[in-house]
Amino acid sequence: MPYVKVIEQLKDNLQTAYRQAIDADAKLNELQKSGHAKFSAIFTENEGFNGRHNRFLPYVQELADDLNLLQPEQMDKAQLELFVKKLGLLLQTLQVFKQQARD
């Protein structure tokens, strides 16, 4: 089963996203308290996510739910590609946010 290792890698990356999302959401809460972070969603509708949230953790949860639906023995290539695209976008956005929050 070649997809078993892929699923494990995706889980590892999702755990990284979870840890980064906790820190990013804490920073967003601070920014909102000081009158900033006035937006309704981090990602737009055309970026593949189903929900519209102003924090990162709900997007991580959506990906965790999606990952639970991916079964190695019945792997759908389109599902996998969409998941990887969304996870990559989330991780990239978290990294950019982290860098900009330091500046």
**pLDDT tens digit sequence for 18-68:** 999 999 999 999 999 988 878 889 999 899 999 999 999 999 999 999 998
Please give the tally of structural domains in the chain.
1
The secondary structure of residue 47, as a DSSP letter, is G
Is the CA virtual torsion 93, 100, 55, 15 positive or negative? positive
Average pLDDT taken over every residue of the chain: 90
pLDDT at 37: 77
pLDDT band at 7 (very low <50, low <70, confident <90, very high): confident
Distance separating alpha carbons of residues 57 and 88, to the nearest angstrom: 15
Record the pTM: 0.90
The amino acid occupying position 13 is: N
pLDDT at 16: 97
Residue-number span of the structural domain to which 59 is assigned: 3-102
